[in-house]
Amino acid sequence: MALDALPSGTDKRAAVRAMFDRIAPRYDGLNRLLTAGLDQRWRRFAIDSVRVGTGDVVLDLACGTGDLAEQCAARGARVVGVDFAGEMLRGARRRAVRADFLQGDAARLPLRDATATVAVCGFALRNFVELPPVFTELERVLAPGGRVALLEVDRPRARVLRTGHSFYFDRVVPLIGGLLSDRSAYAYLPRSTVYLPPGEELCALLGKAGFTAVQRRELLLGSAQILTGEVPR
């Protein structure tokens, strides 16, 4: 199914999975190019926000080719990466990251209850079919006192900033992505922000899933966001 139509439901799941399988070989390089390396800096902020370190067991949800997993492992954590796109997982394994990588569904994670102490997710919320089941699963697999950090794109609220951001995100990104990788995928990725609820609603959904101390932090004048929370002890 073409992604230009912004699929929903089971169509969305199949289309997004096929898209990530197609773009996996050049995904990392384009992320660095299109964000001027800010994507890695934002990942470090997310990890810092939940104090990942030695002794932690980290779930990297929608791990892709393993960027967050690699950073968490470098801090001494044991990492399990889960993704539904097989080509993305193959890319992660080729990097020889010190992590276990599993193929699985975010709404039915292949992990036992209270397995992890930290869960992280980078730039994937808008690709899930539904967010409440995913947040419920994250709460289930985290031990009491566990922390979650969700990194995602956003759009600035201020009109001038929003206009400039939209020009780059909606026009330049699809142009470069189309030239260097896959036209339909890089047309979809900016448009997929319409799937994202407002930040306040995202925080409320985390609260309904059982997380406490939920906070949201804006990055780069509202171009990205980090949501954090904890599982009650």
Residue-range definition of the domain harbouring residue 94: 3-230
pLDDT at position 5: 64
- At 1, the pLDDT band (50, 70, 90 cuts) reads very low
Question: pLDDT (tens digit, 9 = 90+) per residue, 14-38?
Answer: 999 999 999 998 988 898 999 989 9
Confirm if 108 and 129 have CB atoms less than 8 A apart. no
3-state secondary structure at position 39: helix
Q: State pTM to two decimals.
A: 0.92
Task: Assign residue 86 the CATH number of its domain.
Answer: 3.40.50.150
Averaged pLDDT for residues 133-154: 98
Of 114, 87, 89, 112, which is closest to residue 101 (Cα–Cα)? 89
Asked whether residue 43 carries a pLDDT value surpassing 90, the answer given is yes
* Sheet with 212-219, edge to edge strand ranges: 100-103, 78-83, 57-61, 116-122, 142-153, 224-230, 212-219
pLDDT at position 2: 45
How many domains in the chain?
A: 1
Beta strands at 100-103 and 57-61: parallel, antiparallel or unpaired: unpaired
Distance CA 198, CA 203 (A): 9
Longest pairwise C-alpha distance within the chain? 50
